[in-house]
Amino acid sequence: MSKSALLFPGQGSQKVGMAKNHYESNADFKAIIDEANSVLGFSISSIMFEGPSEDLQQTENTQPAIFTHSVALFKTLDISADAVAGHSLGEFSALVASGAVSFADTLLIVRKRGELMQEAGRLNPGTMAAVIGMADTKVEEICTQASLSETDLVVPANFNCPGQLVISGHETAIDRAILLLKENGCKIAKKLPVSGAFHSPLMQPALDGLGEELENLKISRPLCPIYSNYTAEATSDPDVIRKNVLNQLLNPVRWTQTLLNMKYAGIEDFKEIGPGNVLQGLVKRTLKEVRISGEE
């Protein structure tokens, strides 16, 4: 009997109008969105439904918006799985789905995480770039080559699927890396419209603040294992989970390895829950002979 996994999207899956149709047609979904507004003390739903886009793109709003949409959808689907995983921010949605943490407590941490990451982006200005059509190991080599010092560095940030990475760091180092990547035959290497160098050492200012928040978060043993972005391994240990979601801030999202490890563990049914369909595409490009579907 094949096993199943639920996957939850991260930043980049947001769009104005997200979740509005569910809110208007499903009373249970509406109740969760209303709870989010109450917990946060402002209307995240109006930013989700009406924008403007500039407000929704602010990391401090994007993260609670995607998290709320994903969790509300999960809670109204009456669904379970043998494992869960989430891409970056999505790891927090996966934790709620696994029963390890409460929605309200985690929503406050997700909002704080967004604020801290946005502030870290202001304190340590940097950017990110998409890299398509080159082996992971070659991209890692070029990042090392393009990094001149701790204040002028670039690192792999997201291993999304074979031949598709995101790199992160100081703008000068990113520019050097893009030139080197193209010189070495990379198909696409282009900067992304982001407010900071996420999943890199430039997020260090966010680490202490998030660490304090996570110390106070009650994490129970999950109902099923959660695969961590930081290690790409499954765990059910609350202490390990706490460390992993913190370490994720400064380290790459190992999504390719996560999916391969899931398949190796016998998981053949995948379902993405949340806005967009990015993760469905990554599953299709990473794994063969598995089933993938989604709920938006």
**Residue 160 · residue 166 · CB < 8 Å:** yes
pLDDT at 52: 97
Q: What is the pTM of this model?
A: 0.97
* Structural domains in the chain plus CATH codes: 3-122+202-295 (3.40.366.10), 126-195 (3.30.70.250)
Pairing of strands 127-132, 234-235: unpaired
Beta bridge partners of 6: 84, 271
In the chain, DSSP assigns E strands to 3-8, 83-86, 127-132, 154-161, 164-169, 188-192, 226-227, 234-235, 253-254, 267-273, 291-295
- Euclidean distance between CA atoms 50 and 20, whole angstroms: 9
What is the arithmetic mean of pLDDT over 40-60? Answer: 96
- Euclidean distance between CA atoms 296 and 277, whole angstroms: 8
What is the arithmetic mean of pLDDT over 200-215? Answer: 95
Which residues are tagged catalytic? 88, 199
* 2 confidence band (pLDDT: 50, 70, 90): confident
- Euclidean distance between CA atoms 71 and 96, whole angstroms: 7
Which of 205, 13, 229 shows the shortest CA–CA distance to 126? 205
pLDDT at 199: 98
- Euclidean distance between CA atoms 33 and 44, whole angstroms: 8
Instruction: Return the SS3 of 221.
Output: coil
Query: 188: exposed, middle or buried (C-beta count within 10 Å: 0-12, 13-18, 19+)?
Result: middle
* 222 confidence band (pLDDT: 50, 70, 90): very high
**Residue 119 · residue 208 · CB < 8 Å:** no
- Euclidean distance between CA atoms 291 and 274, whole angstroms: 17
pLDDT at 1: 75
